[in-house]
Structure 1
Amino acid sequence: MNPPVKLKWIFALMIFCMALFSMQMGIFVARQMEDERLHGFTLTFALLVMVALYTLIRVSWRMITQTYFSRKWLKLFYAIKHDRLTKRFNYKYRSLKTEIIVVKDDAFVALAIGMRRPKIVVSTAVLDIFSDDEVKAILLHEWHHCLNRDNFKLFLMTMLTEAFAYWPIMKPIFRYYQTWTELLADRFAIRQMGSELHLASVLLKLSKLGGMKQHAASVHFANTTMHYRIMQVLEPEKTVKVKIALRRPLLASLSLLLLFMLGGDS
């Protein structure tokens, strides 16, 4: 199964599993509340109510913080926008049909921001450090995130991972999904450029500029997936094998689900 199809299945499977798990918790709570033999809270019932409340609070908190920080960062980027370079880049890359914001900043900023109408943000520091072809490779990488709605998908995955943090399978799946999101964006940039040379140069330069100032919002070109990304551009003929430890987390998650199912049937 090729990586794009695999990611779609992973995304759909995670949504399905969380929906099933949530439904099972709801059924368990409903049956406990309808049980006439229940004279007060049992330990299992109280625990489940706490888990359900924790999940709801984490979902709500993630949605609030995501909205707040997205608006905060976008407001900041518009405040430090370099008008002349922004107009120049929007005209030069008008075929992308995606807004590009060039910001005046000596930190490394290269990211896609926004979920409904994603935009590409790049700093003047990026334009100073990298050549025109390297900047184009960076923009194409971020454009893939915009086209694929990766911001929305990663937000949803992050929200589910945090809300269901007590489910061991969540974190390894999220890391795997996040890594392949970056690898596929790199593949897209390479195909558009016709060569892996320029993107390889970008990644190698970044690996040498480890102490360079970076914004907290800039994650696409400064994350823990760099090892796999460098492997992909240096050995394009080989298939990158992203490690994922699933056996123990999967067994633990299935045991937890089975526990709730048995509890709901009792």
Structure 2
Amino acid sequence: MWKRKSYFVISLSLLIAFAVWCQMGAFLVHIFFGVNIKANFFKFCFSLFKEDSVYYFVVVTLLSIIISYSILGTLFTIAEQYFLSRRFKQKLFLSKNVDMTKSINETFNRFNNDILVVNAEQPLAFTLGFRRPFIVFSTGLIRLLDFDELEAVVEHEAFHQKNMIRS
């Protein structure tokens, strides 16, 4: 029951966000290109002010600035996160322990070779990636745990990996 509610809440949130983004985009298209879009909430807000008045000009200018800032900020953040995640993955693969990666994948019958073991003394275990998630373990974690504990961690991370793919 809670899972269905969670999906409903996230779906509703995404639908509202999509509607607001569409309205903001339609407003900017109207302002910059003069395209008349009938169903625009922001145009309705402007209709409350007398055209060619100071208030109308101030509201149009402020709203245009806020919307442009929101769109540019979002696009910048998306690009920044994309490049940061690529750089993080590159750093992980540079510290890859080839022998232990192969051994762990064979030991736990991971046919996709989706477990990466990195050289690090800190005990680390996490799942990374959105489209093709993979599991990352540190050599420090592998040395710290016995076989049963490591198997539990593999299963735990495999659960995260499986649920990332379905999402």
TM band (smaller chain): 0.7 to 0.9
Match of 1:12?
11
1:58 maps to which of 73, 83, 93: 73
Distance 2:157 2:72 in 1: 32
Displacement of 1:138: 2.3
2:117 maps to which of 62, 83, 102: 102
Shift of the 69–18 alpha-carbon distance from structure 1 to 2, 3 Å rule, reads same
Contact 1:109 1:123 survives alignment (8 Å):
yes
Shift of the 95–101 alpha-carbon distance from structure 1 to 2, 3 Å rule, reads closer
Question: Where does 1:1-266 land on structure 2 (aligned, <5 Å)?
Answer: 1-2=1-2, 4-25=3-24, 26=27, 27-30=40-43, 32=46, 37-38=51-52, 42-95=57-110, 97=112, 99-149=114-164
Shift of the 38–123 alpha-carbon distance from structure 1 to 2, 3 Å rule, reads farther
Shift of the 46–144 alpha-carbon distance from structure 1 to 2, 3 Å rule, reads farther
SS of residue matched to 1:43: helix
Shift of the 145–61 alpha-carbon distance from structure 1 to 2, 3 Å rule, reads farther
- Counterpart of 1:102 in structure 2: which amino acid? V
Displacement of 1:51: 2.5
List per-residue Cα deviations over 1:104-134 (Å, max 9, x = no partner): 0012322112222111111011112233222
- Which has the larger Rg? 2
Distance 2:118 2:154 in 1: 14
Displacement of 1:98: 5.5
- Structure scoring higher RCO (CA < 8 A, sep ≥ 6) equals 1
Contact 1:70 1:113 survives alignment (8 Å):
no
Shift of the 106–38 alpha-carbon distance from structure 1 to 2, 3 Å rule, reads farther
Instruction: State the superposition RMSD in angstroms.
Output: 2.8
Displacement of 1:30: 4.6
Contact 1:111 1:122 survives alignment (8 Å):
yes
- Give structure 1 stretches of 5+ with no counterpart: 154-266
Displacement of 1:80: 0.8
Identity among equivalent positions (%) equals: 23
SS of residue matched to 2:126: strand
- Counterpart of 2:91 in structure 1: which amino acid? L
Contact 2:123 2:144 survives alignment (8 Å):
no
- Give structure 2 stretches of 5+ with no counterpart: 28-39
Distance 1:8 1:52 in 2: 28
